[in-house]
Amino acid sequence: MVSMFDVATQAGVSKATVSRVLNNKDNVSKKIRTKVISACKTLNYKLNSNIQDFILKTHSNITRNIAFVMVKQKFSDPAYSYLIDGISTEINKHHYHMILAKLSGTEETMYDLPPILRDERVDGIILSGSFDSNIVKIIKSLKIQCVVIGNYDTHLLNSLNNVRFNYQLSLLNVINTLVAQGKKRIAFVDEMRDNFLVQEMFNYYKLALKENNLPFNKEICYFGQGPFSGIYQTLQPVFDSNTLPFDAIVSPTLRLAQEISNLTMVHFGFNQKIDIIIATYRPSDYYKLPVPTIYIENSYATIAPIAIKLLLEQIQQKAGSQTIMIN
């Protein structure tokens, strides 16, 4: 097996220099870096990750692994995939490794967790998804620093670190914009009625209406049958009528807004002016609807660095829990 000593001999440098190059340290010249990389390629040298983890753990009690733990939800969900990109980029800047771990949400003890978490092979955890108090209890029992990304009931988080969006401000801004454009009958749409985040947004929606001296009308608030049930069946009878009871729709979930845009185009026809506006959140400006839309940006480019910075501070300083609100 090719060793680091063999690479150092081939490159004509010390083992310490090889280590600095392979760990992307700045205090190495471009010429030396090129020589070391060339020697690695010639010898087909690869770091033994098991040995590296053992050495790190033995010498400093750290592994340089950060786990992004998802509960129930899919990593392929567009919202989370953009978040993964942001977290991965930020972790790499600090020379940590990113581990993806998925939980079913039915775990009862720490022994039901993936070995990478159960055996303390990570220094910190980024947690998101749909979890309950038992998952929080298990995560806290690991004694591993954790930061939760997303808006959850503070009682559920039980003093875990949290980075969350200021949905109250963003919904107030979007209602203000709709009113400025002459909209007065603003509907609210989501597929889940009992979800904490949906309830939070629904309350902020009602507060924003009040701030703009608009009445709250429960008859233009529509809910589906639960997670990923869609909203098409709920709204189809409404859009089949000749006159719509609303002139704008706030639909926080982009996936539902896409369904609403299809119903809108059918209702108005492809050659007619569309008189309603949809307001929705989106993780990236890549997503665009074919109807008049106000986009509220969920800036994962902003939230990921803040979450990682907070987690690393917690790992290094073991500071008290914090909640950070992102506008």
Instruction: Name which of 223, 227, 213, 226 is nearest 187 in CA terms.
Output: 223
The more confident residue out of 18 and 210 is 210
Q: Are residues 124 and 221 in the same domain?
A: no
Q: How confident is the model at residue 322 (pLDDT cuts 50, 70, 90)?
A: very high
Whether 15 is in a domain gets the answer: yes
Whether 238 is in a domain gets the answer: yes
316's CB contacts (< 8 A; 6+ apart) are none
Quick one: 19 exposed, middle or buried, by C-beta within 10 A (0-12, 13-18, 19+)?
Answer: middle
Is the distance from CB of 196 to CB of 131 less than 8 angstroms? Answer: no
| CATH number of the domain to which 41 belongs | 1.10.260.40
Find how far residue 189's CA is from the centre of its chain.
Answer: 22
Q: Which range (32-36, 220-224, 282-286) has the least confidence? A: 282-286
**Residue 46 pLDDT greater than 80, yes or no:** no
Q: Are residues 160 and 306 in the same domain?
A: yes
Whether 56 is in a domain gets the answer: no
**Residue 116 pLDDT greater than 70, yes or no:** yes
- What sign for the dihedral angle of Cα 315, 319, 323, 327? negative
**Residue 208 pLDDT greater than 90, yes or no:** yes
Average pLDDT of the residues in 243-259: 96
Q: Are residues 129 and 113 in the same domain?
A: yes
Which tokens in the block code for residue 117? Answer: 């978490």
Domain residues for the domain of 196 are: 167-297
Q: Are residues 190 and 280 in the same domain?
A: yes
- Give the per-residue pLDDT at 60: 54
Q: Are residues 266 and 195 in the same domain?
A: yes
Number of domains, the chain: 3
Average of per-residue pLDDT values in the chain: 89
Q: Which range (51-60, 99-108, 221-230) has the least confidence? A: 51-60
Whether 57 is in a domain gets the answer: no
Is the distance from CB of 307 to CB of 147 less than 8 angstroms? Answer: yes
- Give the per-residue pLDDT at 50: 54
Q: Are residues 282 and 177 in the same domain?
A: yes
Q: How confident is the model at residue 80 (pLDDT cuts 50, 70, 90)?
A: confident
pLDDT, tens digit (0-9, with 9 covering 90-100), for 86-110: 899 999 988 899 999 999 999 988 8
pLDDT, tens digit (0-9, with 9 covering 90-100), for 119-168: 778 999 999 999 999 999 999 999 899 999 999 999 999 999 999 999 99
For residues 278 and 252, give the distance between their C-alpha atoms in angstroms, rounded to a whole number: 10
pLDDT, tens digit (0-9, with 9 covering 90-100), for 262-292: 999 999 997 889 999 999 998 888 889 999 9
**Residue 47 pLDDT greater than 70, yes or no:** no
Is the distance from CB of 142 to CB of 124 less than 8 angstroms? Answer: no
Q: b vs e for 126-140, b when ≥16 Cβ sit within 10 Å of the residue's Cβ?
A: bbbbbbeeebbebbe
- Give the per-residue pLDDT at 59: 45
For residues 215 and 208, give the distance between their C-alpha atoms in angstroms, rounded to a whole number: 10
Is the distance from CB of 136 to CB of 289 less than 8 angstroms? Answer: no
188's CB contacts (< 8 A; 6+ apart) are 202, 205, 220, 221, 222, 249, 250, 251
Q: Are residues 187 and 203 in the same domain?
A: yes
Which tokens in the block code for residue 146? Answer: 């954790």
pTM: 0.76
For residues 18 and 40, give the distance between their C-alpha atoms in angstroms, rounded to a whole number: 9
**Residue 78 pLDDT greater than 60, yes or no:** yes
Whether 52 is in a domain gets the answer: no
Helix, strand, coil % over all residues of the chain, rounded to 5: 45, 15, 35
Q: Are residues 292 and 191 in the same domain?
A: yes
- Give the per-residue pLDDT at 173: 96
Q: Which range (51-60, 95-104, 242-251) has the least confidence? A: 51-60
Residue with tokens 């909203």: 231
Whether 219 is in a domain gets the answer: yes
Instruction: Name which of 90, 50, 95 is nearest 68 in CA terms.
Output: 90
Q: Are residues 211 and 137 in the same domain?
A: no
Q: How confident is the model at residue 55 (pLDDT cuts 50, 70, 90)?
A: very low
| CATH number of the domain to which 261 belongs | 3.40.50.2300
For residues 154 and 322, give the distance between their C-alpha atoms in angstroms, rounded to a whole number: 11
Find how far residue 194's CA is from the centre of its chain.
Answer: 21
Whether 260 is in a domain gets the answer: yes
Q: Are residues 287 and 176 in the same domain?
A: yes
Q: Are residues 306 and 283 in the same domain?
A: no
DSSP states of 201-239 as a string? HHHHHHHHHHHTT----GGGEEE-SSTT--SHHHHHHHH
- Give the per-residue pLDDT at 146: 96
Average pLDDT of the residues in 45-54: 58
Q: Are residues 181 and 286 in the same domain?
A: yes
Is the distance from CB of 231 to CB of 224 less than 8 angstroms? Answer: yes
